[in-house]
Amino acid sequence: MTSIRLNSLSRSKQSLWLGLIIGSIVLLICLIYSIMLGARDIPLRIILESFTAFDRSFDHLVIQTVRLPRSLMAITVGAALAVSGALMQGLTRNPLAETGILGIESGGALAVVATLFLFGSSSVSVYASMAFLGAAIAAVSVYFLGTLGRGGATPLNLTVAGAAMTAFISSITTAILIVSQRTLEEIRFWLAGSLAGRDFDLFLQVLPFIVMGLLLAFLLGKQITTLNLGEDVAKTLGQKTTTVKLLAAISVVLLAGGSVAIAGPVGFVGLVVPHMVRFFIKTDYRWILPYSAIVGAILLIISDIATRVLLKPQELPLGVMTALVGAPVFVYLVKSKVKR
């Protein structure tokens, strides 16, 4: 799992940049398709017109107020989840690390549900900050509990601690939802993880935090690469490992909390994407992280299109879609990557 292969270094910088550019183009194409496809398909010409000559027609309104915001949210959430997953996998050297599996998303979800229950739905800003707080508390607790198990923060200990934490947190979330029918009505589609009818103001409010988290992650790329060789190696090379870990954890919480606030718990994106990226780039997190961002965005926007198109006009929750794709990958990774 930590075998050091330096073939990423042999890949030229030019081809890596080229890959990022191609990825961005694919993402752009997906974005256009995401705006085009839906309960009612809209041709490309009208989409372009809605930007150049907005005339308040029905199609233009749908594009500008529904499809475009939703697609932008998909891209943001996908990038945030994938980068947070890659960061955690690098940081903990755990191929199974992901915000959903480690209970961080359920922590954010509980905080949001509890806020909604206690203060009602009017307070959008409280809602977002609580998601961050919940994610942070869950992340710290799971990591702490995982390190206490036999052999320290091994993949097994962290994953099992995360699963138990998730079970505990969701039992409290369920209890709140049962006690308050009103909260359930407002939140049940959100809890399944979805981008339908999301509040764009909330998105704009959370966006700066996610951008901060992404930038922080990209800046840490080099340090994470070193840290991934082992903490001792990193220390020998003169790295302040505690600082790096702390900064990476802050980035993870910003990304995970932000995406939970926008889309609810969307599992397995952060797990699958970094592994897909590592097929091409083995160990260099300076490149793994930005690639994860783009691949994550592409994956999530495609999943979101699928939720709308597969059972038209019925809409599937996004979290269900990603779990159906991601959970089998998880099982495969367990089979192939976990040392007994």
Partner 1 sequence: MKEGLLIQSPVALLRVDRRLPALLLVLLLFNLAAIVLNVQQGEYAIATIDIIKTLLGIDTGNPDHAFIIYTLRLPRTLVACLVGITLALSGAIFQGLSRNPLADPSIIGINAGASLLAVSVIILFPSAPVYILPIAAFVGAALVSILIYSLAWKSGSSPTLLILIGIGLSAIATAFTSLMITFGSIYDVSQALVWLAGSVYGRSWEQFFPFLPWVILGVPIALSLSRHLNVLNLGDDIAKGLGSRVEWERGFLVLVAVALGGSAVATAGSISFVGLIAPHIGRQLVGANHQNLLPVTALLGGLLVTLADFIGRILFAPIELPCGVVTAAIGAPFFLYLLVRKRF
Q: What track of x and - describes contact with partner 1 for positions 111 through 130 (by CB under 8 A)?
A: --------------------
**According to the binding rule CB under 8 A, does residue 267 interact with partner 1?**
yes
CA distances from 128 to 68, 79, 196, 223, 283 (A): 22, 18, 18, 29, 34
Closest by CA position to 160, among listed 144, 142, 173: 142
Please report how close the Cβ of residue 179 comes to partner 1 at its closest, in angstroms: 5
Residues 6+ apart with CB under 8 A from 91: 97, 224, 227, 228, 245, 248, 249, 252
Please report how close the Cβ of residue 276 comes to partner 1 at its closest, in angstroms: 17
Closest by CA position to 157, among listed 167, 149, 166: 149
Of the candidate residues 177, 217, 262, 297, the single one contacting partner 1 (CB under 8 A): 177
Give the residue carrying structure tokens 């009103």. Answer: 182
Scanning 23-31, 109-117, 298-306, 325-333 for contacts with partner 1 by CB under 8 A, the matching segment is 325-333
Scanning 62-70, 176-184, 244-252, 273-281 for contacts with partner 1 by CB under 8 A, the matching segment is 176-184
- Cα separation, 37 vs 70, in Å, equals 12
User: Alpha helices, DSSP H only, in the chain?
Assistant: 7-10, 13-36, 44-52, 58-62, 68-92, 104-119, 124-148, 155-179, 181-191, 200-219, 221-227, 231-236, 241-263, 269-278, 285-309, 318-337
**According to the binding rule CB under 8 A, does residue 296 interact with partner 1?**
no
**According to the binding rule CB under 8 A, does residue 338 interact with partner 1?**
yes
Please report how close the Cβ of residue 117 comes to partner 1 at its closest, in angstroms: 12
Please report how close the Cβ of residue 205 comes to partner 1 at its closest, in angstroms: 27
Please report how close the Cβ of residue 116 comes to partner 1 at its closest, in angstroms: 16
Of the candidate residues 44, 118, 124, 185, the single one contacting partner 1 (CB under 8 A): 185
Please report how close the Cβ of residue 212 comes to partner 1 at its closest, in angstroms: 30
Residue closer to partner 1 by CB (options 209, 268) is 268
- Cα separation, 3 vs 10, in Å, equals 16
Closest by CA position to 326, among listed 261, 276, 281, 263: 276
- What tokens does 332 get? 């495969």
Please report how close the Cβ of residue 249 comes to partner 1 at its closest, in angstroms: 20
Residue closer to partner 1 by CB (options 4, 118) is 118
**According to the binding rule CB under 8 A, does residue 163 interact with partner 1?**
yes
- What tokens does 179 get? 């006690």
Of the candidate residues 178, 204, 237, 246, the single one contacting partner 1 (CB under 8 A): 178
Scanning 3-11, 174-182, 225-233, 244-252 for contacts with partner 1 by CB under 8 A, the matching segment is 174-182
Of the candidate residues 66, 123, 189, 309, the single one contacting partner 1 (CB under 8 A): 189
Of the candidate residues 46, 64, 149, 250, the single one contacting partner 1 (CB under 8 A): 149
- Cα separation, 252 vs 260, in Å, equals 12
Cis bond upstream, residue 328 (ω within 30): no
Q: What track of x and - describes contact with partner 1 for positions 82 through 111 (by CB under 8 A)?
A: --------------x----x----------
- Cα separation, 266 vs 9, in Å, equals 33
| Residues forming the site for partner 1 (CB under 8 A) | 96, 101, 145, 148-151, 156-157, 159-161, 163-165, 167-168, 170-172, 174-175, 177-179, 181, 184-185, 188-189, 192, 267-268, 314, 316-317, 319-320, 323-324, 326-328, 330-331, 334-335, 338, 340
